[in-house]
Amino acid sequence: MPVNQAFDFIIVGAGSAGCVLANELSQDPNNSVLIIEAGPADNKLLIHMPGGVYSVYKDPSINWNYESEPEPALANRRIPLPRGRVLGGSSSINSMVYMRGHPQDYDNWADRYNLPIWSFDQCLPYFKKCESSDRGASDWRGAEGRLGVSQAKLENPLFDAFLEAGEQSGQGITEDPNGRKPEGLSRLDSTTRNGRRSSAATAHLKPVLTRPNLHLLTRALAHRILIEHGRATGIVLEHRGQVLTVHANREVLICCGAINSPQLLMISGIGPADHLGEHGIKPLHHLAGVGENLQDHLSVSVIHAARQPVTYHNVGNPVRKLLMGMQWLLTRRGFVASNIWEAGGHIRGHADVPYPNLQYHFSPIHARYDGLKIKLLNGYTSQLDQLRPRSRGSVRLRSGDPKDRPAVNFNYLQDPFDTRELVEAVRRMRELNAQNAFSPFRGAELEPGPDVTRDAEIEAFVRNTATTDYHPCGTCRMGRDDMAVLDQEMRVRGIDHLRVVDASAMPDIISGNLNAPVQMMALKIADLVLGRNPLPPLKAFFEFGQDRFGTSQPADFQIVST
């Protein structure tokens, strides 16, 4: 690439948001678009095998492999934080669970932070536009989008027991966690199509790389954003050992994720002035909120041994691995076509929450990790995430070197309320696993173990074992107050022609996995960047049914254009 080349739009980060934006902004042949990615192309076959997720999500060749600073409330453990450093970003290494979160999350954004364009009725059309669901088109689902979304299909009696236990326990079931009834247990959707991972790269970017106005540069690390007279004018980057400058005639869009986006802003002189000065960086624009408000879903697991050989403990056998791989190559079916976490859903941990605050992921696998190596045992795992934590952390610089890893402090369980909810999560999982539906399969409880019964003992278990579900967000949040980094169109406050479009823009974490919401957000922002009319809002009234705490909710729903 020639030095000083100019493009209309420069997108930094070819992850979930960047790939969507690259497709949308390059649809007009008059717009020249450059998208740069620090990692390599997504050429590894295991990326595209859904069952290969256990091999790729910590692969150092395609992963930043961050970790937190020692977390005081989690026994001073450093929590691993894999982040995709490959075409498609974390959508190329994640567990592919497709979950939009709860509608109330988006209405809370609109009301609490005065962000009216992010109410759920204005997000639902973009969710539908983005996806191609094998459930078919409906009031809730889209069938013509670029992102492949498939309902779980792997047959296993433990999945059936999980759903039956949901009914028996009163925790409830639902046919579609992204549909009219988002509360209850269900078979989940995954971002797969025809047995292959549908990453943001395969869905949005790679099909249009033949456009002459769209340019992709991999293994290109952004060093800093060029700021001239209060305007973003380009990017300084390193590619193949050469430092280059590329210019943006219209906009620079930062899509590096909740860890790397605030790092790039701060290295470029945008952020808390005192902190930048500590690292010898000249503050160009003071924004106190850059790197603040870090949130994540902390999760805890209950693991049982299985009395019958119904789990997938023997898939690590070399002969079986070969046969399953051949089956997938020939038919795109079988175990390798599954993301394994095929059941889950949303429940309430206590009666004082207005909508579900815990999310299940259930797997007929008991995996133990020794570094990057996995050992599979005959057991099954129930996992619950705390969906709306009150604790907040931060991302800070270690230095002004873009190659230096930032310091990530989640401050997990800083708020005692979060500890209470995870203790309740363990009790809810035990309640579910104690149901008759699991009786034919339920062996000994391996974790936390039958001797852990009192709240204090469960709390100690949580502090010693809880870990991330890999959903960091919030570090460049939207809003209108002094700590907001972005306005509701994700423009950096005080800097012209610069946006941050990724999970860092979320003011509060979504009650679910983040990949689907990030792609929706990017699709919506593309309309704003290009001055296109937004999609007409859809007013949604959801059915919540009745939970085990006796809280009645409206049973009727409707969607009408507004």
Alpha-carbon distance 421 to 423, whole Å? Answer: 5
CA distance 369 to 374: 5
Cα separation, 290 vs 406, whole angstroms:
13
Give the separation between CA 380 and CA 445, rounded to whole angstroms: 10
Question: What DSSP letter does each residue of 381-392 carry, written as one string?
Answer: EEEEEESS----
User: Are 265 and 223 within 8 A, CB to CB?
Assistant: no
Query: What is the rounded CA–CA span in Å between residue 49 and residue 271?
Result: 40
Any idea of the CA torsion for 100, 104, 110, 112, to the nearest 10 degrees?
Answer: -130
Q: How far apart are CA 412 and CA 73, in angstroms?
A: 6
**Residue pair 441/380 in contact by the 8 Å Cβ criterion:** yes
DSSP 245: E
Q: Are strands 379-386 and 358-363 parallel, antiparallel or unpaired?
A: antiparallel
Q: Give residue for tokens 């979930």.
A: 16
Full DSSP string of 433-472: HTSGGGTTTEEEEEES-TT--SHHHHHHHHHHH-EE-S--
Catalytic residue annotation: 471
* Residue type at position 109: W
Report DSSP state, residue 62.
G
Pairing of strands 231-239, 184-187: unpaired
CA–CA gap between residue 135 and residue 515 (Å, rounded): 19
Structure tokens at 164: 């039956």
Of the candidates 159, 182, 548, 230, which has an alpha carbon nearest to the alpha carbon of residue 381?
159
Task: Give the whole-angstrom CA distance, residue 490 versus residue 285.
Answer: 17
Round to whole Å and give the CA distance between 241 and 491: 31
The strand pairing partners of 486, in sequence order, are: 478, 492
Q: Please give the Cα distance from 339 to 47 (Å, whole number).
A: 11
